[in-house]
Chains A and B, each alone.
Chain A
Amino acid sequence: MASELQSQASLTGLIEATLHPKALAGFAAPARENARPVLLPPQFIDRCRQAYLSVSFPPGSSRVLGITSALHGEGKTTVALGIATAVAADTNEPTVLLECDLETSSDEFFGLRNGPGLGDWLDGDQNLRILRIPPLANSYLIPAGGSRQDAARIFYKLSQSTVIEQLQRDFPNVIVDLPPLVSIAYSSLAAKVTERILLVARYGSTPLTAIEKAVFLLGRERISGIVLNGYASRTPQWLRRLL
C-alpha cells in the first residue's frame, strides 16, 4: 500500500517529466519514449471524431471518456486510439490514452516490447510509462503492460485510485481503453472508472445478446452511445437509403 501511495504521489512528477522533458547536457533534444506510429485512415479518425463529439461533457471540465466493448476483438483499442488522435488534433491539448485492458496486452499494437505498464505501476513495481504517440506531439499513451493473471485485483486498485483525477490535471483529455465487459468477471468496476462510456460493437460479429449484457453490466445511464465498428455492408448505398 505504501509503495502504491508513493507511486501515485510521484505521478505528477512523471507527467511533468513526460510533458516537459529537459534536455540533457550534450544532447540537442530531450530524450522521449515514443510508441510506434499507428497510421489510421483519415476517414476512420473522422468517424471517431463524430463519436467523441456526440458525447456531452460538462462545460469547463476535462474530457474523460471510457471505451469498451462486449467481447474481445471488436476494435475497441483502435477506436480508442482513433478518438484520442481526433481529440488531440482538434483541441491541441495534451491527450492521453490510458490502456486499462490488463488481460490483453496492446503492447504489440503500439510497437512496445513487454515493458512495464499501468498494472506494474499500480502494483508498485515500476514507474509509470507515459509514451508519446507520433505523429501528434500532444498525444500520449499509458500502456497497460504485459498480460496479467491478477487483472481483477489490479483493476480494483485502479478503480479505487485517483489516477484519472491526477491525470486530468495535466491532460484535459483522457481516453480510457477499458477491458471488454462480457469477457471479464470484474466488469462492474469498469463503470466506476469513467462517467461516460462509448460501447464498441463489431458489425456482423458481436452478438446482440452480448451487447445487451454489456449494457446491463455498465448501466444504461453510463453509456453515451454505441460505436458500430467494422461496418462492411454489401447492400448498395441507394438501397440502404430506401430501407
Chain B
Amino acid sequence: MAKYVELLFRHRLRFLTLIFVLPASLALACVFLFPHQTATTSLWVDTPAYIDISPSIQGWNQYLTPAQNTVDAVDQLRNTDLFLKELTAKLDATKDFTDVSERNSVLATAATDIVLVSNGSHLVGMTYTCPREPICTDVLSATEQIYIQWLDDRQSAQANVAIDFYTGQLTDAQTKLATDQTALADYLAAHPNLRPSDTAAIPQFELLSRNVDNDLLKVADLQQKLDNVKLTNAAVGKTDETTLKIIDAPRNVGGRLNSLPRKQMIIAAAAGLAFATGVLMFMAWSDRTVRDARELEGFLRIPVVTTIPDLALMRSDRG
C-alpha cells in the first residue's frame, strides 16, 4: 500500500494529468463529439376523483403527492413495450428523423433518458437531452400524449366496467319490477274491489305493492348511477384537462451546462480514472526497487536498522 501511495505522490503530476486533465479533455471532446440539445416541459397534476367510480386512479399512492404519483406512473409506463410502440409511432409520424441511425439511437435511449422530477406537490418537470432540437421536443410531446392517452384509457376502462355492472344491475331490477308489477296486476284483477288504502288490512296486497315501490326506487337509483358513469366516460378527456394540465409545453432550452452529455462525461472520467489506476498498478508492479523499509524487512526478514534521507535533500534543507 505504502508503495502505491509513494508512487502516487512521486508521479503526482502525471497522475493529476491522468485523473483530471485527461478525463476533462475527454469530457470536453464529448461536448463536441456528441452535440446535445435539451428540451423541457412542466405538468400540473391534481388528484383525479371520478364521480361514483373511484376516489382516485387505481395504483395511486395516497401517501404521495400528485406530482410524485405522476412521476411514478410515467416512470413505470416508459418501461413498457406499449410506451415504446406508441413513442415509435408518434415520432415516426413527425418525420423529424434525418436517418435510420438517428431514429434507432433516439428510440433506444429515449425511454431511459427522460428525466422526471417532481417539483413540489403538484408540478412535474420532464427533461430530455438529445442530439437535435426537434427530436427533443418531439419525444417530450409524445411522452405527454402517451401518458394522457394511457390515463384516458384507464379511466374509460374503469367507466366501462362500471357501465357494464350498472347495466346488468338495471336490467335485473327492471325484470324484477316487471315481474312484481305483473303479480300486483294479477292480484288486483282477482280482487277488483280493492282500494290502495286496503294495503294495511291485507298483508299480501301490502307486500305486492311494497315490492313494486321498492323496485321502482331501485330502478331509478341504478338508472341515475348509470347515467352518471356514462357522463363521466363521455367526459374522460375533459376530466384529464382538469386534473392534468401542461403548464409549459415542450420547448428547447439549448445546450446548457447542466445539459452536457453527462453520461458520456462520466464514462470519460471513469475511463481516465481506470487508466490512471492501471498505470499506477503497472508502475508499482514494474518497479521492483526498494521503496519501503517495512516491505524490505518483510521481504528479506532482516531489520532495516536505519533510514538515511537523501544527502542532497539534507544539504538543501540545511541551505
Contact assessment for B308 and A79 in the assembled complex, using a CB-CB cutoff below 8 Å: yes
Q: List the interface of chain A (C-beta within 8 A of B).
A: 40-41, 43-44, 47-48, 50-51, 54-55, 75, 78-79, 82, 198-199, 201-209, 211-212, 215, 220, 223-236, 239-240, 243
- Pairs A–B under 8 Å by Cβ, sample size 6: A48-B308, A50-B306, A203-B307, A211-B300, A225-B303, A234-B10
Q: Does B200 contact A (CB under 8 A)?
A: no
Which of A51, A75, A234 contacts B311 (CB under 8 A)?
Answer: A75
Q: Does B14 contact A (CB under 8 A)?
A: no
Across chains A and B, which 4 residue pairs bring their CB atoms closest together, nearest first? A225-B305, A54-B305, A234-B9, A232-B310
Shortest CB-to-CB span from A230 to chain B, Å, is: 5
Q: List the interface of chain B (C-beta within 8 A of A).
A: 1-2, 5-6, 9-10, 12, 288-291, 293, 296-297, 299-311, 313-315, 318
Given A204-B290, A231-B307, list of 7 further CB < 8 A pairs? Answer: A41-B311, A78-B311, A208-B290, A212-B300, A225-B304, A228-B307, A235-B5
Contact assessment for A44 and B311 in the assembled complex, using a CB-CB cutoff below 8 Å: yes
Contact assessment for B308 and A41 in the assembled complex, using a CB-CB cutoff below 8 Å: no
Complex: how many Å from CA A223 to CA B9?
A: 32
Which residues of the partner chain A approach B290 to less than 8 Å between Cβ atoms? 201-208, 211, 228
Q: A41-B311, A235-B6, A235-B9 are in contact. Are A208 and B296 (CB under 8 A)?
A: yes
Complex: how many Å from CA A206 to CA B296?
A: 11
Across the interface, name the chain B residue whose C-beta is closest to A233.
Answer: B6
Which residues of the partner chain A approach B6 to less than 8 Å between Cβ atoms? 233-235
Complex: how many Å from CA A47 to CA B306?
A: 6
Which residues of the partner chain A approach B293 to less than 8 Å between Cβ atoms? 228
Contact assessment for A41 and B302 in the assembled complex, using a CB-CB cutoff below 8 Å: no
Complex: how many Å from CA A204 to CA B11?
A: 13
Contact assessment for A41 and B300 in the assembled complex, using a CB-CB cutoff below 8 Å: no
Shortest CB-to-CB span from B280 to chain A, Å, is: 14
Contact assessment for B300 and A215 in the assembled complex, using a CB-CB cutoff below 8 Å: yes
Which residues of the partner chain B approach A231 to less than 8 Å between Cβ atoms? 307-310
Which of A50, A202, A220 contacts B302 (CB under 8 A)?
Answer: A220
Q: A212-B300, A230-B310, A243-B5 are in contact. Are A198 and B305 (CB under 8 A)?
A: yes
Shortest CB-to-CB span from B2 to chain A, Å, is: 5
Complex: how many Å from CA A91 to CA B303?
A: 25
Which of B2, B306, B315 contacts A235 (CB under 8 A)?
Answer: B2
Q: A207-B288, A211-B296 are in contact. Are A47 and B302 (CB under 8 A)?
A: no
Shortest CB-to-CB span from A155 to chain B, Å, is: 24
Complex: how many Å from CA A54 to CA B246?
A: 83
Contact assessment for B288 and A223 in the assembled complex, using a CB-CB cutoff below 8 Å: no
Which residues of the partner chain B approach A209 to less than 8 Å between Cβ atoms? 288
Contact assessment for A230 and B299 in the assembled complex, using a CB-CB cutoff below 8 Å: no
Which residues of the partner chain A approach B305 to less than 8 Å between Cβ atoms? 50-51, 54-55, 198, 224-227
Which residues of the partner chain A approach B5 to less than 8 Å between Cβ atoms? 235, 239, 243
Shortest CB-to-CB span from A202 to chain B, Å, is: 7
Contact assessment for A225 and B302 in the assembled complex, using a CB-CB cutoff below 8 Å: yes
Contact assessment for A228 and B306 in the assembled complex, using a CB-CB cutoff below 8 Å: yes
Contact assessment for A208 and B289 in the assembled complex, using a CB-CB cutoff below 8 Å: yes
Complex: how many Å from CA A8 to CA B314?
A: 41
Which residues of the partner chain A approach B303 to less than 8 Å between Cβ atoms? 54, 225-226
Contact assessment for A232 and B306 in the assembled complex, using a CB-CB cutoff below 8 Å: no
